[in-house]
Homo-oligomer: A and B are copies of this chain.
């Protein structure tokens, strides 16, 4: 377990050149005699050699590092995505660098540059925001998969859910239940995902006979979905019409709305149903009042890595929409 075991160490011990050891380490067994291979393998074993990824990266122009650039790790959904991606990358022999952009384009660009300097093998962009560096990245053709939000500066491999369908499902649920006054709560400056969930919800309600004016819409400002829900809740419950069913585009928004509902003395469910889209496992423990369309964040990791591997192999990977649970 010494620090100074390099190809040279192994080569000396086996009595061959570093070239030969290098080839064998890289699996080119058929270019050396069986005897040599055996001797080298023994030497590797004996000194406990492991290839130095830094030397290798410099030579190959490519490291074993994969950059995950995420908008906000404090969001439990992103934490789960990060965790599952980390596990899948490790299985595949890669190491994950984690970058939190706090949804700020300049930070995202800073990281994008830093990661290119690190010669990362690929990029996982979770809820990426539009930025100059991102456009460059897209243009450069570097291996990248977008998660949750589609590439805001063009197209690209995507892992997520069918957001419009999720919204529509909530609409059907409310309609089938006989609710009359549906509402939807979303971030003012939302992602494509948010918007799709909302429009899927609205379109389906229209199909099922609602007029536009009959559907209550409320948004909230800022980063924090908790705050967004709380703020929008004030307008919803303080308004002239109180809804009997609310779709929140995320769990955290629902938490905020619920707290406001409690302040207004409303019973949830009962006076008003709450449905959200996320379905983090914590809900069953602390928010049993919440019905949620469950996004399978825990399997995002394997899908993301599968996507990267397809790209590395030169195959094309368009998008992978994962099925949600709702019961």
Contact = CB atoms under 8 A, between A and B. Distances in A.
Contact of A96 (B55, B80, B98): B98
Size range of the chain A interface in the assembly: 35 or more
Given A50-B113, A118-B53, A285-B255, A98 B74 contact: no
A259 to B, nearest CB: 6
Given A79-B76, A118-B53, A286-B255, A96 B97 contact: yes
Interface string A139-157: 0000000000000000000
Given A76-B76, A79-B73, A52 B285 contact: no
Interface stretch (A17-25, A82-90, A214-222, A241-249): A82-90
A114 interface: yes
A234 interface: no
A100 interface: yes
Contacts of A322: none
A95 B95 contact: no
A74 B63 contact: no
Nearest to A100: B86
Given A82-B98, A83-B100, 19 more contacts: A1-B136, A50-B113, A52-B119, A54-B54, A54-B118, A55-B58, A73-B79, A73-B83, A74-B83, A76-B79, A95-B97, A95-B99, A95-B118, A97-B97, A97-B98, A226-B285, A258-B286, A259-B285, A286-B287
8 contacts: A52-B117, A54-B119, A68-B98, A74-B83, A76-B76, A76-B79, A255-B286, A259-B288
